[in-house]
Amino acid sequence: MGLSLSSLHSCEECETAVARTDVTAIPAANGDLQRAERAFQEAKRAYKRSGARTTRGYATLVKNMGTYYSGVGHFEDAMRFFKEAEGVYERAVATASIDYADLFTQIGSCHRQQGQFSEAFSSYESARDAYQRAEANHIPDYAELLSIMGTCCGNLARPLEESQLYQDAKRTYEIAGATAMPSYTALLVNMGSSHRRHGRFTDAMILFKEAKCSYELAGETSSSSYAGLLRSMADCHQRHNPAEAMQLRERAKLIYEKSSATVTYDYMVFLRSMSDGYREQSRPAEADWLLNEAKRISAELHGVPPFDQNSRLRAHTI
């Protein structure tokens, strides 16, 4: 995520800072925080030398570093950067901007990864307000924010708000002509999952099938997200067509394994679901093996309780 030159002073030092910010994303994404921190500090010094540490561009640089730290689970460090960025945006009179909205989206996601759903939703509301002040409530990023807010309401057991936010998100994607985006497909899955949780399996399957077509058209059938969709479809079939449900789970398991997404909370919960399915089919040996695998993954995830669905959540909950 680079910085816009229009938000910086016109100077060579700040252009160097922009370049270093782009470089920062690469080591941080690979977990090399020492390299990321060095690149960030060099960029920060460039802003200081040019007297540009009160600009919107500098705020975005700091925000980006917070996002990288949040992405690797260093939440206290991430919040420290986010708070610094917030202060700079305010001093730069840039609180009616997409960058400022994104800051609060990232703060919300940082809270949500820690299970702090009320704090997350409050931050997302601040992000929504910033988008509206910037008159940017018609773009795909705004639609994605509404979708995330809907998921957060699901975590908070607020179904009416959840449904309304999903509908608003879907309408915004459609108005923006952005229904081919992966985040729109994720919205369809989230909406379907909401219906499934409330026993509306027919409505859920309509959305899941639409999402499945989107994945297939995009050639994304080998991703862990697609496997998660198959898992959700299996859950819908479980009561009336357990054989179909098990076929979908077996396909999902192969995809998870090929995508190397097998030491994750999502996969752990999937194995528990598959274990239950085998047990219902009177296949106890296979059920026990899968249950033990789930427990092993739990231990690798630093002791996360195997079946506590509130302990870890993804950005978009399947």
Whether the predicted pLDDT of 29 surpasses 70: no
- Report CA-CA distances (Å) from 251 to 230, 246, 282, 311: 8, 9, 20, 26
In a domain, 242, yes or no: yes
Whether the predicted pLDDT of 134 surpasses 50: yes
The CATH number linked to 273 is 1.25.40
In a domain, 62, yes or no: no
How far apart CA 187 and CA 253 sit, in angstroms, is: 23
Tell me which range, 3-7, 71-75, 190-194, 269-273, is most confidently predicted by mean pLDDT. 190-194
How far apart CA 56 and CA 5 sit, in angstroms, is: 10
DSSP state of 4: P
Section 279-302 average pLDDT: 89
Whether the predicted pLDDT of 44 surpasses 90: no
Q: Which residue has the tokens 């409505």?
A: 203
Residue 9 is predicted with a pLDDT of 43
Residue 100 is predicted with a pLDDT of 94
Mean pLDDT estimate for the chain: 84
Residue 313 is predicted with a pLDDT of 32
In a domain, 296, yes or no: yes
pLDDT class of 31 with cuts at 50, 70, 90: low
How far apart CA 194 and CA 173 sit, in angstroms, is: 19
Judge whether 190 and 229 are in contact, CB under 8 Å: no
What is the number of structural domains in the chain?
1
Residue 23 is predicted with a pLDDT of 39
pLDDT class of 192 with cuts at 50, 70, 90: very high
- Tell me the one-letter amino acid at 106: Q
How far apart CA 265 and CA 305 sit, in angstroms, is: 10
Type and span of the H or E element at 142: helix 140-155
Whether the predicted pLDDT of 317 surpasses 60: no
In a domain, 303, yes or no: yes
Residue 26 is predicted with a pLDDT of 45
How many other CB atoms are found less than 10 A from the CB of residue 236?
Answer: 23
Whether the predicted pLDDT of 262 surpasses 50: yes
Residue 65 is predicted with a pLDDT of 86
Whether the predicted pLDDT of 191 surpasses 90: yes
pTM for the whole thing? 0.75
pLDDT class of 13 with cuts at 50, 70, 90: low
In a domain, 157, yes or no: no
In a domain, 241, yes or no: yes
pLDDT class of 16 with cuts at 50, 70, 90: low
11 or 261: which leads in pLDDT: 261
Range of the domain at 276: 221-318
In a domain, 243, yes or no: yes
Whether the predicted pLDDT of 56 surpasses 60: yes
Q: Which of 219, 221, 250, 222 is nearest to 234 (CA)?
A: 250
In a domain, 237, yes or no: yes
